Amino acid sequence: MTAFARGDLATAKRIVVKVGSSSISGDASWRIDMLADAIIEARSRGQEIILVSSGAIATAVSLMDLGGKPADLATQQAAAAVGQNVLLWRWQSSFDRFGVLAGQVLLTLSDMQNPTPRSNAHRAIDRMLTLGVLPIVNENDTVATHEIRFGDNDRLSALVAHLMRADALVLLSDISALYTAPPDREGSHPIDVIGPDDDLRQYEFGGKVVNSVGTGGAATKATAGRLAQEHGVGALVTSADNVSDALAGHSIGTWFPPVAGQHPRTETLSVILQDDNEEE
């Protein structure tokens, strides 16, 4: 059997698409229609799309006149409750143009760790897909605490891709690809492919916090790509503006070809879990 390649995204049966806060919040909210257009185009090819959308807290910041992302947990939870409502409304309003119904799925890390809620989440998302409903997944920030969070939606999307046996994961943000070092540094260049045996330590992905509205950055996308890769899921990292080309299988972004027929390597998963704990 031929390994799943980047070009196979155009014909993949099931794809998880993750979009970051900074790509759809505030002045960037216009991208929601663009992303919805690309998702509907993929669905017209018979593909199943699961959307993992950040942006609940970032959406609420301006609406609640908070003056910036709140630092205390209680205000973050309150903002998430407000922002999630508006965020889903914006997505649904966009998908209404095509007569497509979206459904909200909010998860916590404990949900994924516990077999019963994990099985329930799998069954519900799978049923939504068979009914033609577009699942929109996000972390349940209203009830999550610093101690029990995924750390970022990049990692959440990789776990959802594994849970739902997706063919591929597409991580969308502000960067067109992962770079060998910070893009503004002389000699830095985009990375086309990161293989399963490539040592991520040879690259300098920089800090995880990239702006005031989103957490993550290149480092978390690299670790999420590796996590998906080692679960047998191909992963692509690129810009949200490239979503149509990404889902059409064009040669863009940074590609993590999947490990076929292998279980994730324990040492890599340990590093990811350690990195998430340090971020908290």
Residues in the annotated binding site for substrate: 54, 141, 153
Q: At what angle do helices 266-279 and 218-230 cross, to 10 degrees?
A: 150
User: What residues form the annotated binding site for ATP?
Assistant: 18, 173-174
Place of tokens 């770079």: 179
CB atoms inside a 10 Å sphere around CB 169 = 30
**AA letter at 31:** R
Q: Kindly tell me the burial class for residue 146, based on how many C-beta atoms sit within 10 Å of its own C-beta (0-12, 13-18, 19 or more).
A: exposed
Q: At what angle do helices 56-63 and 73-95 cross, to 10 degrees?
A: 100
Q: Residues 95, 37: contact at Cβ < 8 Å?
A: no
Q: How far apart are CA 52 and CA 181, in angstroms?
A: 27
User: What residues form the annotated binding site?
Assistant: 18, 54, 141, 153, 173-174
